[in-house]
Structure 1
Amino acid sequence: MIDRLKADLPVSYLCEKLGVSRSGYYDWVSREPSPMVQRRDELAAKVLCAFAASERSAGYRKVTAELHADGVVVDRKTVASRMRELGLIPLFAEAAFKKANQRSSRAVDPVDLVNRLFSSLTPGAILVGDITYVHTREGWLYVATVIDLASRAVLGYATGKRQTVGLIVRAMDRARASGHVATGAIFHSDHGSQYRAKSFAKYCGKYGIRRSMGANMQCWDNAVAESFFSKLKNERLTFTTRRAATHEVVKYIGHYNTRRRHQSLGYKTPAQALAKLTNPADTAKATPAAA
């Protein structure tokens, strides 16, 4: 087969595809193959030519169709077998294999521990988080938040010019520093790469925080965080600098925690709801650290 194709393709390339050495090929040239081997080699040569003509894009179905168009009588299974033997893998299949391999090596995402039941009577027991962006003339400013589901209070936040695991860790650090994150708290998020990162999983494990994720590509599974961000975006305009935007974001979070009344909280503010849930006898003491 190499002898037939060497006028069109380099011998080294053909030998590599067939898994033989060049010296082995030249040794074989002096031998007379059997009729069955000749037929097999002829088909392999035609398969290789059809695959090369497609610029490595055709799978066994298209290669079979090309052979049929040339009058070659052969079935798909035989073509697929010859292509496997020759190591002919179409480019799309290589990309799909690499992607599948990456998915199989990735840690399994956490299960949904919230299941869209966005209510809680225990402050700090269920937290939700997400990352959004605010436009500035310097570029995007990314904002990560940690929100208490019971009171809707923003317990932690962080801003930065990149979406990184460090951004969500800083937001979680601030939430923990508020003193309102319960032992064994659930943290619910979407499937963003930052929340799936091994380093974030390790961080949560270190502090006894249980991760939870909703369905992939489904924003309703993280509706509380999405709702907060929609209010943030709707009530603030484009800023000149990231520094100015950060100042306004922090100011807005303070306003949100202490001034915005929620229907779901009986028209209390998040700070009032958190204070009442934390210490019903003294609602004036407890206020979110993020405010």
Structure 2
Amino acid sequence: MDCCRRRIARLMRKAGLQGRHRRRRPLKTIPDPRAAARADLIVRDFAPAPDGLDTRRCGDVTYVPTEEGWLYLATVIDIASRRVVGWSTADHLRTELVAEALRSACHRRRPTRPVIFYSNHGCQYTSQQFATLAMHFGVRLSVGRTGQCWDSALAQSFFATIKRELLHTSPWPQRTATPHRDLRRHRGLVQLAPTDSSLGYRSPAECETALAV
């Protein structure tokens, strides 16, 4: 039986039903036209680094829904092993979010050699505050090309796994305790799970053990 839109709306109101709308996606990558130009030192080469661990890292930001609003997640991933070596969450997209993720990675893993950190052109990553922090830890900053989603494919693959496995039923109820607990647990499981063919279907933990020999 054909029904018009107004009839459906009236019947839904009468039954106390409401349609579920997709939230508007927040804009994450906002370039700063005043930011200093930086070279692309990775050139979309995400193959395991021949010179070992803690030499090339990449970072990006994603958003996950909660019943309190968006929660933003920033990660730092070692390109050689695909291990998440640093991360942070916040209810904002200010530079402190990505700075805390970098600080977490550098405190957890203290490289003895200079590290290249690869990101997009977002104003958080090109800010002077982030550049000062990177210089403090001896990190060389690198950026991908504008408008090329493939340049952040490694980080986006991890984000897709998180959203598929942790948020397949409903959003987190809060921005605080539950997301942090689930993310820590998921990050630990990911380090032990086999990954793609670029690592020979070894887990990040297995890959790091092999590279450390």
Tell me the TM-score normalized by structure 2.
0.78
Cα distance in 2, alignment partners of residues 274 and 265 from structure 1: 10
More helix by proportion, 1 or 2? 1
Q: Is the 1:125–1:182 Cα contact (8 Å) retained in structure 2? A: no
What's the CA shift for 1:180? 5.3
What's the CA shift for 1:136? 0.4
| 1:216-240, Cα deviation, whole Å (9 max, x unpaired) | 1211112111111111112221111
Cα distance in 2, alignment partners of residues 231 and 269 from structure 1: 14
Cα distance in 1, alignment partners of residues 196 and 112 from structure 2: 23
| 1:103-139, Cα deviation, whole Å (9 max, x unpaired) | 3xx1323110000111213111100000111100011
Structure 2: segments with no counterpart, 5+ residues: 1-31
The equivalent of 1:183 in structure 2 is 113
Moved over 3 A (4+): none
Identity %: 37
Q: Which moves more between the two structures, 190-199 or 226-235?
A: 226-235
**RCO (CA 8 Å, sep 6+): is it higher in 1 or 2?**
2
- What's the RMSD between the two structures over aligned residues? 1.5
State yes or no: 1:262 paired with 2:207: no
Which has the greater radius of gyration? Answer: 1
Structure 1: segments with no counterpart, 5+ residues: 1-101, 281-291
Cα distance in 2, alignment partners of residues 259 and 146 from structure 1: 18
The equivalent of 1:110 in structure 2 is 38
Cα distance in 2, alignment partners of residues 174 and 268 from structure 1: 25
What's the CA shift for 1:182? 4.8
Cα distance in 2, alignment partners of residues 142 and 233 from structure 1: 12
| 1:145-196, Cα deviation, whole Å (9 max, x unpaired) | 0000000000001111111211112111221122254521100001111101
State yes or no: 1:274 paired with 2:202: no
Q: 2:147 aligns with which of 217, 220, 223?
A: 217
State yes or no: 1:253 paired with 2:181: no
Tell me the TM-score normalized by structure 1.
0.58
